[in-house]
Amino acid sequence: MQQRWLRYACAGQTGFGTLTDDAISVHEGDMYVDARPTGHVLSLSEVRLLMPTQPSKVIALWNNFKALGDKLQLSVPVEPLYLLKSPNSWLNPGEVIRMPSQEGKIVFEGELGIVIGKIASNVAEEQALNHVFGYTCANDVTHADILNRDASFAQWVRAKGFDTFCPLGPVVATGLDPARLVVKSTLNGSVRQEFPISDMRFSVAQLVQKISADMTLYPGDVILCGTSLGVGSMKPGSHIEVEIAGVGTLANRFE
């Protein structure tokens, strides 16, 4: 069943529900296992959107798209290559991505986020999608100048872990076929990325299977699937959007 779930703040309270057009059907209970409609409806204009999930961790993939890997002449990985985005980096839709004190080249990376809905520990590939709740948009912001500044140590976590460097949202969409999705990133209204999820080296099911063999995935956790061609730098004052049909548009400003 296709639904668009979100979290919101309104009148000093937080809540969650499903979005239809501009109307939010407020729910109670647990979004992933026991969500019950209250009968109360809010207008989208009444609330402030929050990240649609509260993860224990956000896992970010490297070299998971054939087109970008081929352009960079990267070897084909035999297993998913990933890092963790730190909680301080997570950012709500519409909020500002901030330039860190370490100034330099800051790049956007539009990505599909897999949202886990059921505890996954060493799950089989054929069962992996049963542990997926839905999908969201993400911007895996990166400080490119820091990443390889020290020749002895690639600084992945630092380069991708600055405050506000992981916007997520605006919703978690359920009932979608990820293989049919396309990620589009625009910078100041100009399309910079437009790539199909079908180009991933590891499918959604394979990512959940292989990563859950390493670490337990909990409801709300997010796997960022990696990015493809078109990654570019942002200047202060830029407006960046990541759009996936069926999910919506994640919009943030960079200052």
User: Based on the domain organization, do 21 and 117 belong to the same domain?
Assistant: no
**Sign, CA torsion 149/150/156/162:** negative
All residues at 6 or more sequence positions from 27 whose CB lies less than 8 Å from its CB, including other chains? 15, 16, 17, 18, 35, 36, 37, 38
Residue 232 has a pLDDT of 94
Residue 143 has a pLDDT of 97
Which two three-digit tokens encode residue 106? 């800051």
Residue 77 has a pLDDT of 97
Q: What three-state secondary structure class fits 158?
A: helix
User: Based on the domain organization, do 130 and 240 belong to the same domain?
Assistant: yes
Q: What is the CATH number of the domain that holds 9?
A: 2.30.30.370
Q: Which residues of the chain are under the pLDDT cut of 70?
A: none
DSSP string covering 6-60: EEEEETTEEEEEEEETTEEEEEEEETTTEEEEEEEEEEGGGSEEE-S---S-EEE
User: Based on the domain organization, do 23 and 94 belong to the same domain?
Assistant: no
**Sign, CA torsion 135/141/59/119:** negative
* 8 A C-beta contact, residue 59 and residue 211: yes
Task: Identify the domain boundary among 50, 70, 90.
Answer: 50
Determine the Cα–Cα distance for residues 150 and 99; give it in Å rounded to an integer: 21
Residue 1 has a pLDDT of 83
User: Based on the domain organization, do 38 and 89 belong to the same domain?
Assistant: no
User: Based on the domain organization, do 183 and 148 belong to the same domain?
Assistant: yes
User: Based on the domain organization, do 29 and 92 belong to the same domain?
Assistant: no
Task: Identify the domain boundary among 35, 50, 65.
Answer: 50
* 8 A C-beta contact, residue 117 and residue 194: no
Residue 81 has a pLDDT of 98
Query: pTM of the entire structure?
Result: 0.97
Q: What is the CATH number of the domain that holds 69?
A: 3.90.850.10
Residue 103 has a pLDDT of 87
Domain that holds residue 16: 1-50
The chain-wide mean pLDDT, for the chain, equals 97
User: Based on the domain organization, do 107 and 8 belong to the same domain?
Assistant: no
User: Based on the domain organization, do 109 and 39 belong to the same domain?
Assistant: no
How many distinct structural domains can be found in the chain? 2
Over residues 120-129, the pLDDT tens digits come to: 999 999 999 9
User: Based on the domain organization, do 22 and 61 belong to the same domain?
Assistant: no
Which two three-digit tokens encode residue 74? 């990267």
User: Based on the domain organization, do 86 and 17 belong to the same domain?
Assistant: no
User: Based on the domain organization, do 199 and 223 belong to the same domain?
Assistant: yes
Determine the Cα–Cα distance for residues 143 and 251; give it in Å rounded to an integer: 19
Residue 107 has a pLDDT of 98
- Bridge partners (DSSP) listed for residue 43: 23
User: Based on the domain organization, do 18 and 33 belong to the same domain?
Assistant: yes
Residue 248 has a pLDDT of 98
